[in-house]
Amino acid sequence: MIISKETVLSIQNLVKTYPGHTRAIDGISFNLHPGECVGLIGESGSGKSTLARCILMMEKIDSGQMWFQGRKMLQPRTASAYRALGGQVQAVFQNPASSLNPRLQIIDSLMEPLDTLKHRIPLIVQDCWQSRLKCAKRLLDLVELPTHLLHKYPHELSGGQKQRVAIARAISSEPSLIVMDEPTSSLDMITQALIMEMLIKLQKDIRFACLFISHDLAIIQRISDQIIVLQQGKIRDHFAKEDLFSSERHAYTQQFVHKYAK
């Protein structure tokens, strides 16, 4: 199979089964293009986070194929597989504290992805590449945080600040794809709104493709170009964001929207 390099991520007939359970992912296929955001919705247990972990090579798939920028993604997760991606795939999770080492100052957590890059200088830090401190300050500026936080530890930051650091860390390598799994669900509504505004601006400026998982339909509709609805590991619906509240959608989509619309 030949996948165009213009397609950032191509998922073909992906299957993942856990021992003693039904298929968590059952024949999923979709494509994700540069600068595009696909929103992923569905009930708890529908396979959303399992799909995210498979894409991030945190889970070994049973069958199917994943292609990134025209190249087949190696399975299972290995150091060489990650090196082959060259920092081009990043993630932001629901709990920012879990992605930040409590023993490291923010500058060190922030710079981890850049410290491992050897053959590419991201454009967003190209003019300050020779100075680790200047790069870190640039990244905090991009997520609208004051630079004095660089020498703080994670427990000294608020939840919203920690999530902004996690986002800065994710964009630091100027990735082509970021997987975001419920990145605002643990935050209050005002902080959610501010971070969503920032994410939309960052995606427009950096043009990374994004897989965005959330139960918040207002957030999904705001940030997504396309929306995929999962049920029991299968894609039940796939449509443009404008059609989220359409009465013509799949019966399961209507049921989900009725339950979660605010």
With respect to residue 98, please indicate whether it lies within any of the assigned structural domains.
Answer: no
The CATH number of whichever domain residue 71 belongs to comes to: 3.40.50.300
162 versus 85: the higher-pLDDT residue is 162
C-alpha–C-alpha distance, residues 102 and 58, integer Å: 22
C-alpha–C-alpha distance, residues 137 and 157, integer Å: 16
Residue 189 CB contacts under 8 Å (≥ 6 apart), including other chains: none
Orientation of helix 159-171 relative to helix 106-116, angle to 10°? 20
- Matching residue, tokens 């929103």: 39
For residue 184, report the phi and psi dihedrals to the nearest 5 degrees. -120, 0
With respect to residue 90, please indicate whether it lies within any of the assigned structural domains.
Answer: no
What's the order of all strands across the beta sheet hosting 9-17? 23-32, 9-17, 63-68, 71-72
* CA torsion, ordered 131, 132, 134, 139, to nearest 10 deg: 140
pLDDT at 70: 85
Domain that holds residue 27: 1-34+42-85+214-262
- Average pLDDT of span 162-189: 93
With respect to residue 181, please indicate whether it lies within any of the assigned structural domains.
Answer: no
With respect to residue 226, please indicate whether it lies within any of the assigned structural domains.
Answer: yes
pLDDT at 185: 87
Name the 3-class secondary structure at 180.
Answer: strand
C-alpha–C-alpha distance, residues 112 and 144, integer Å: 20
C-alpha–C-alpha distance, residues 7 and 92, integer Å: 21
With respect to residue 72, please indicate whether it lies within any of the assigned structural domains.
Answer: yes
C-alpha–C-alpha distance, residues 116 and 78, integer Å: 15
Summarised one tens digit per residue, pLDDT across range 123-135 is: 999 999 889 999 9
For residue 190, report the phi and psi dihedrals to the nearest 5 degrees. -65, -45
With respect to residue 231, please indicate whether it lies within any of the assigned structural domains.
Answer: yes
C-alpha–C-alpha distance, residues 185 and 79, integer Å: 31
With respect to residue 54, please indicate whether it lies within any of the assigned structural domains.
Answer: yes
pLDDT band at 41 (very low <50, low <70, confident <90, very high): very high
Q: Is the dihedral of CA 117, 121, 126, 131 positive or negative?
A: positive
Q: What is the number of domains present in the chain? A: 1
With respect to residue 141, please indicate whether it lies within any of the assigned structural domains.
Answer: no
Summarised one tens digit per residue, pLDDT across range 74-124 is: 665 555 555 667 689 999 998 888 889 999 999 999 999 998 887 788 999
